[in-house]
Structure 1
Amino acid sequence: MAVAGRYDCVTKTPMGTMKGLMTVVPGDGDTFTGTITGDLGSLELRDGTIAGDTIAWKMTMTSPMKIELDCKATITGDDLAGKIKAGFFGSMDLLGTRAG
C-alpha cells in the first residue's frame, strides 16, 4: 500500500500550529489503523479507509476538551494534504511529508 508509512504533519488549529508524527499501518483490504503523536499527546486513528490515494479516519481528542475528529487526506508521492473536521471548530488544514 503506497499510503502506509510515517508522516511529519502540521495542523493549523484555533490553538495555533500543532506538529505530530502520523503512522499509517495497513489493515485488511482497504483499511488501516495508526496513531498521531505530537503536541497534544497520542491519538489513535480508527475506522481508517483507503480509496486510491485518499485516506479517511476518525480520532477522539481528549485535551483540552473531548471532541470527535473526522479526517480525510490525499497522499501524492511523499506529500499528504487534507482536512480535519472538528465539530463546531470547523475544518482545519492538515499537511505532511513522509518521514525518512
Structure 2
Amino acid sequence: MSQIDGEWDCITKSPLGEQKSVFTIKTDGDTFTGSNAGPTGTLEVADGKIDGNTLTWKMDMKVPMPMTLTCTGTVDGDTLNAQVSAGAFGSFPMTGTRRG
C-alpha cells in the first residue's frame, strides 16, 4: 500500500466558492484510480499517474457544465496540495488532509 492510498478531506477554491469533497486514491504501481465525491456528484479519476510524491490526473465534470479538469498535486505526509485546471476558467487550489 502506498503512502498516498486512502481518503482525503479536500477543499477546492473555485469561482463557485469553496467546494468540499472526499478524494479517494487507490494506487497500483505508478498509476492510481479513485474518485472525488462532493455535493455536485462524484468525479472519477482518469489517467491517474504517480511520480514520487507528485500526482497527475483528470476528471470529467458534468455539473454545472461539462468539462475535463486537469489536476496536479503533491502529497507531503498527511497533506495534499493540488491545482485543478478548468481550461478557460483558470486554475484553482485544492487542499486536503488524510482521513483518520
Task: Using structure 2 for the length normalisation, give the TM-score.
Answer: 0.96
Partner of 2:85: 85
Q: In the alignment, which residue of structure 2 is the partner of 1:61?
A: 61
Q: CA deviation at 1:20?
A: 0.1
Give the paired residue count: 99
SS across alignment from 1:88: helix
Amino acid at match of 1:56: T
Amino acid at match of 1:75: V
Q: Deviations over 1:29-79 (max 9, x none)?
A: 200000010121100011000000111100000001001100011000000
Q: What secondary structure is seen at the aligned counterpart in 1 of 2:63?
A: coil
Task: Give the Cα separation in 1 of the matches to 2:27 and 2:53.
Answer: 13
1:80, CA displacement in angstroms?
Answer: 0.3
Report the alpha carbon displacement of residue 3 of structure 1 after superposing the two structures with TM: 1.2
After the TM superposition, which parts of structure 1 deviate over 4 Å for at least 4 consecutive aligned residues? none
Q: Matches of 2:19 and 2:47 in 1, distance apart?
A: 23
Q: Gapped runs of 5+ residues in structure 1?
A: none
Q: How do 1:1-100 and structure 2 match up within 5 A?
A: 1-27=2-28, 29-100=29-100
CA RMSD of aligned residues (A): 0.6
State the identity %: 45
TM-score (norm 1): 0.96
